[in-house]
Structure 1
Amino acid sequence: MTAIDIHRGLNGRTILLTGFTGFMGKVLTEKLLRCCPEVRHIYLVVREKKGRSATERMEEVLKDPLFSVLEKEVPKYRLRLTALSGDCSLPNLGLSDEDKKKVTDEVSMVFHGAATVRFDESLKVAYLSNVQGTKEVLRLAKEIKNLAVLVHISTAYANCHLQKIEERFYEAPMDDKRLEDMVQNMDDSILEAIRPKIIGRWPNTYSFTKAMAESIVKSYASQLPIVVFRPAIIVGTSKEPLIGWTDNLYGPTGIVVGAGCGVLRSMYCDLDCIANIVPVDMAVSAMLTGAIKRIQDPPADDTIPIYHFVSSTDNPLKWREFKRLIELHGQDVPPIKAIWCYFMTTHRYKINHYIAILFLHYLPAIILDTITKLTKGDNPNLYKIYRKIDKYSEIIEHFSIRSWDFTNDNMKKLRMMQTDKDRAEFNFDIANLNWSEFFYNYIRGLRVYLLKDGMETLPKARVRWHRFQIAQRIMLTIFYLFVALMAYRLFTCFLSITA
């Protein structure tokens, strides 16, 4: 079995990356710049937005605490980093002629991560970003003179209409040409009206368009050296460069923050299903290893290697344990912005969940909004916040009430091919990840990096949290006494009628 040497594989490479401003793109860029000095240069395709140039947007991202360690250890890292103004949905990625020539002449590795990850995105936007963008990257890659590997970042849930998902390609959801014609020629309102029929067994436009993109990638098997990387639900860092760093509320992170702030009090979830989460830093290390494996030990035929980076196979975490850990570690570091103490209920049946959100979300929101309007004259907004929270919950519930059977044989073999040095520096051994330790750091990271709530506010936040707990116990006691009184009266009324 050929040993993989990442540093040797990256020596002298110039890399093209799409999706730099995304969660995984930031961590990948930071890792390459900090740990891989042999990388010659990195070109980032960045879309101009709201009057800000590609370089300005890059510089804004680089101010994130994620890059603070890099700033200290490699102060001149910017010399190896260039933002190219572009748009992945356009021909040649929207690059200027000069920038395109740089890419085709200098680049030897491509990481395609640009995508919209919103589950509720319109079909047209999701198609342009996830499918059309992939087409344009593949077309440009064919013009790159010395391409060694192209990594297509997909998702483990691209084929979530299936129960068992293997590390191989599956049939496309529909003919791409037909879908392209519909997206280009149909009115947006009509396209959205028939969206459920178009996506069929896929739960959202994200997984649907990711499946479509994979079918496009498959058609280039004999033309380009490709690797497909399918991570599970990506969450904050486990170790590096900062413990517990994250920058978004997607997926389970929104649940943790919502519950920790006392806002989210009910979740539609089967506690015996698997929360298939993976730390982003481990996902990046796995992806880099897979890319170098394609360079140093290419397949004998035109096969495109596919790698599942999932936790459900080797280190499964049930939602029951997920809930226990966020309560255990979250109550120790409550955020100063919390509006109530932790009190999250989970329900396997939707009717129970609806009853819970009526009494735990909407009724308190209406009462508090009314009090606010009468006493302060302010425009109340808690009810509107809960409408958004419940809309978000509906979007992710498909993944909280189901489990999938993922195979990951290719990923296991990849791990075995690492050198001892690479295992230490590019660790993705998910089987040995301690979930309790991870959540301990993850929740503290959410407080500091996402909520911007420094640990110096912790003493005050704990006092408020304790007061919320006392108030909740009093309210629950009153509620249970009221229910008992009503039950007693009904019982005595029944006895008097039957006497």
Structure 2
Amino acid sequence: MDFGSIAEFLRNKTIFVTGATGFIAKILLEKILRVQPNVKRLYLLVRATDANSADSRLRDEVLGKELFKVLREKWGSDFDSFVSEKIIAVAGDASYENLGLAADQIEEMYENIDIVINVAAATKFKERYDVALGVNTLGAKNVVNFAKNCANIELLIHVSTAYVCGEKAGLISENLYAMGETLSGEAALDIDSEKKLIEETIRNLVARKVPEQAIRERMKILGSQRAKLYGWPNTYVFTKAMGEMVIRKLRGNLPVVVMRPTIVCSTLKEPFSGWLEGCRTIDTVTVMYGKGTLSVLSADISSVFDLIPADMFVNSIIVAMKANVNKPCLTIYQVGSSYRNPVSFEVLHGFYLSYFSKNPWSNRDGNPIKIRKCFVLSNILIFEIILILFHFMVQMILNFVTKMGCSNLHQMMLNFEKKLTITTTLVDLYKPYLFFKGIFLDTNTNKLLKTARQNGLDEDMFNFDPECINWQDYIMNVHIPATVRYLF
């Protein structure tokens, strides 16, 4: 197989991408249009009520982003006509049967689509259970059924996450979950029963006239409870794991590739270094650290943070597409860095301290924020006890100064309470990853890279080798500046 012709492989292809307004999908779309302007057609599923709304979201939330500046410069005044010829935004929703598409439109797509790439996902760790199950699990089901109905289908690529492994330690292989498999040893997981549980819970809450805000919170709690019951740390990875189960069960003879990225970060190189959107796992820590709101944390400093730049992950998708098209496959690719080029929490912490000491963020008054080395406690139990005691002490002091009328001390205590609350929330949310002991094997991914290299891979255009990343240079000169620029 000639991997020197990947761009040529994309010529005249009709590709359907779900989750088109998401971070990864945008980078994928830009890459395809930039390396192969003769791609035949790109159908983009946009969550919207009608075609006009879908077009509006495409313009504002995708094509209007700085990410497309290189492509805009290349095409100049012809950019709008170029993308209108290549892209069709279709209004729909992955969580609906038939993806919520209109009957006349779906028939046209069935006839023309060659490749389906499912990037649609609800990525919040504490998402509502009904929303997460709808997109991450039932959405995967709907996409598989859609792809199987395409007359000329060559491949389905499903973007999952490496963290469907839960909190496993040691070497984590590229294996797919069987339907009903759990991590806790509980009785077999039944997705239909989970759906019914959600429906019954909402129906009961509505019948009791519970406010929408309370229903939303109840759905978040239910998702977390069900995830932990079956052995997953949060609703996101739990519902993504069920999505993989659905795909394995329903695919039939459909060629399928499951891509499992680790923590996807800002672009390393393409279309330019340091494009970022949305506050991802590591970015939350970066923002809080740089703004001086994070001075104490609980983590295992030896834990590996498995990072992969977004453009490298997109490259791996395109190369995997070329390698597996029209093959009777069900292949998993874990795309990360922990096995071949690991970087620990301790090292990352050093990068943050160094960067923000030299490049301090300014507060609202224009004064630079002085950064101190974050105190890291490795014992989570002791850390949580300390936080509880601090919360109690602050409340006691606040009650006292309120009675005494000490406004300055009162404000100081409020600020300290705010920092405690932020730290508590952060540790609660990211605890499974601050103490993560797993290393992701990338056997299939590395084999794909080696085969592609041996057969002419243009590594300047499609590199996804984590060993080529200089973490100090990337974090200090690319990722943290990107975080400051786009998220602060």
TM category, shorter: 0.7 to 0.9
Spell out the pairing of 1:310-325 with structure 2 (5 A cutoff).
310-325=336-351
**1:358 offset after TM fit, Å?**
7.0
Q: 1:246 to 1:3 in 2, by over 3 A?
A: closer
Q: Distance in 2 between matches of 1:195 and 1:364?
A: 29
Matched, 1:78 2:56: no
Could you give the per-residue CA deviations for residues 156-206 of structure 1, whole angstroms, max 9, x where no partner exists?
Answer: 111224334211213333122322322333336677458525542110111
RMSD: 3.2
Aligned residue pairs, count: 447
**1:281 offset after TM fit, Å?**
0.8
Structure 1: gaps spanning 5 or more residues: 452-499
Q: 1:180 to 1:63 in 2, by over 3 A?
A: same
TM-score when scaled to structure 1? 0.81
Q: Is the 8 A contact 1:4 1:289 kept in 2?
A: no
**1:71 offset after TM fit, Å?**
1.3
2:298 to 247, 268, 272: 268
Q: Distance in 1 between matches of 2:371 and 2:223?
A: 42
Structure 1 counterpart SS, 2:297: strand
Q: Distance in 2 between matches of 1:52 and 1:385?
A: 44
Q: Distance in 2 between matches of 1:420 and 1:115?
A: 34
Spell out the pairing of 1:237-252 with structure 2 (5 A cutoff).
237-252=267-282
Q: 1:397 to 1:226 in 2, by over 3 A?
A: same
Structure 2 counterpart SS, 1:5: helix
Q: Distance in 2 between matches of 1:53 and 1:376?
A: 51
Q: Distance in 2 between matches of 1:261 and 1:7?
A: 43
Q: 1:342 to 1:286 in 2, by over 3 A?
A: farther
Structure 2 counterpart SS, 1:42: strand
Could you give the per-residue CA deviations for residues 409-442 of structure 1, whole angstroms, max 9, x where no partner exists?
Answer: 1101111122545221011110121001101211
1:120 alignment partner in structure 2: 126
Matched, 1:226 2:256: yes
Q: Is the 8 A contact 2:4 2:456 kept in 1?
A: no
Matched, 1:413 2:439: no
Amino acid paired to 2:156: L
Spell out the pairing of 1:436-475 with structure 2 (5 A cutoff).
436-440=472-476, 441-451=478-488
Q: 1:30 to 1:166 in 2, by over 3 A?
A: same
2:173 alignment partner in structure 1: 166
Q: Distance in 1 between matches of 2:386 and 2:263?
A: 27
Matched, 1:154 2:160: yes
Q: 1:388 to 1:43 in 2, by over 3 A?
A: farther
1:186 to 182, 194, 201: 201
Q: Distance in 1 between matches of 2:259 and 2:14?
A: 20
1:141 alignment partner in structure 2: 147
Amino acid paired to 1:106: N
**1:353 offset after TM fit, Å?**
2.9
Amino acid paired to 1:348: S
Could you give the per-residue CA deviations for residues 122-144 of structure 1, whole angstroms, max 9, x where no partner exists?
Answer: 22221111011111111111111
Q: 1:410 to 1:54 in 2, by over 3 A?
A: same
**1:398 offset after TM fit, Å?**
0.4
2:44 alignment partner in structure 1: 44
Spell out the pairing of 1:87-486 with structure 2 (5 A cutoff).
87-163=93-169, 164-171=171-178, 172-173=181-182, 174-187=189-202, 192-193=221-222, 195-197=224-226, 199-295=229-325, 298=327, 302-337=328-363, 339-354=369-384, 374=407, 383-384=417-418, 386-418=420-452, 419-440=455-476, 441-451=478-488
Q: Is the 8 A contact 2:126 2:224 kept in 1?
A: no
Q: Is the 8 A contact 2:90 2:101 kept in 1?
A: yes
**1:234 offset after TM fit, Å?**
0.9
Q: Distance in 2 between matches of 1:323 and 1:59?
A: 38
Q: 1:150 to 1:197 in 2, by over 3 A?
A: closer
Amino acid paired to 2:282: P
Taking only the aligned residue pairs, the percentage that are identical comes to 28
Q: 1:105 to 1:324 in 2, by over 3 A?
A: same
Q: 1:195 to 1:261 in 2, by over 3 A?
A: closer
Q: 1:126 to 1:396 in 2, by over 3 A?
A: same
Structure 2: gaps spanning 5 or more residues: 183-188, 206-214
Could you give the per-residue CA deviations for residues 329-355 of structure 1, whole angstroms, max 9, x where no partner exists?
Answer: 232222224654244221111244346
**1:251 offset after TM fit, Å?**
0.3
2:185 alignment partner in structure 1: none
2:211 alignment partner in structure 1: none
Q: 1:351 to 1:15 in 2, by over 3 A?
A: same
Larger-gyration structure (1/2)? 1
Range that drifts further, 74-83 or 130-139: 74-83
**1:27 offset after TM fit, Å?**
1.1
Could you give the per-residue CA deviations for residues 290-321 of structure 1, whole angstroms, max 9, x where no partner exists?
Answer: 1111117x3xxx44011010111000111111
1:22 alignment partner in structure 2: 22
Q: Distance in 2 between matches of 1:82 and 1:317?
A: 41
TM-score when scaled to structure 2? 0.83
Q: Is the 8 A contact 1:365 1:382 kept in 2?
A: no
Q: 1:393 to 1:169 in 2, by over 3 A?
A: same
Range that drifts further, 244-253 or 314-323: 244-253
Q: Distance in 1 between matches of 2:40 and 2:461?
A: 19
Q: 1:20 to 1:294 in 2, by over 3 A?
A: same
Q: Is the 8 A contact 1:160 1:202 kept in 2?
A: yes
